[in-house]
Chains A and B, each alone.
Chain A
Amino acid sequence: EAGVAQSPRYKIIEKRQSVAFWCNPISGHATLYWYQQILGQGPKLLIQFQNNGVVDDSQLPKDRFSAERLKGVDSTLKIQPAKLEDSAVYLCASSSALQGYNEKLFFGSGTQLSVL
């Protein structure tokens, strides 16, 4: 079974530029997450989708970050304009279960973003 696919693996941009990340979840997984992982820290949830609807975006900096999952499968996360503090690994995860105590998340390899 194919895992969660993310691209690109690495991205280097200058501050104030824009950038987009792409995620393809495991086939059939209705729930998709974007996490931000700053060096030396654990992943922090940015946004959660259930099919093509947003379940939780309370920690998404909406002035510069946006995400969509138009057809309930692939998702893109965009940053515009980027700041130095956005340098991090952006992880996509998916799960098959609806919100529940036994939900298990499967992560992609992430996109490492460096903002100069």
Chain B
Amino acid sequence: GQQLNQSPQSMFIQEGEDVSMNCTSSSIFNTWLWYKQDPGEGPVLLIALYKAGELTSNGRLTAQFGITRKDSFLNISASIPSDVGIYFCAGRGINTGTASKLTFGTGTRLQVTL
């Protein structure tokens, strides 16, 4: 089945630093989504991408849909303590009977120190 690998698995950064994380797939996706999950809560949608090469921002967050359609990137600028959490990428495949099924990555745990 489809697999999504996220890197890094975890990262410690200082407040104010920029953060980059990425997600790679073994197959092509036609949609990429980025979610953030706080402890004890469900994932919350941050950014949705629908076209190869698309670059979309949401405040301090910017995500890109890779040209190969097998990867996506998330950047967070000027991190703040509330950015702490687990970031998941999710992809939706094409040309399958369950085309709408989302496959989630393994997550990147972000910790921000003052």
Contacts and interface: CB of A to CB of B under 8 A. Distances in A.
Interface string A71-107: 0000000000000000000010100000111111111
A105 B102 contact: yes
Contacts of A102: 31, 48, 50
- Chain A interface size band reads 20 to 34
B98 A56 contact: yes
Residues of A contacting B: mostly: loop
B78 interface: no
Nearest to A3: B42
Interface in B49-93: 50, 88, 90, 92
A104 B45 contact: yes
A108 B100 contact: no
A56 B42 contact: no
Contacts of B4: 42
A56 B101 contact: yes
B100 A4 contact: no
Interface of A: 4, 40-45, 48, 55-56, 58, 91, 93, 99-110, 112
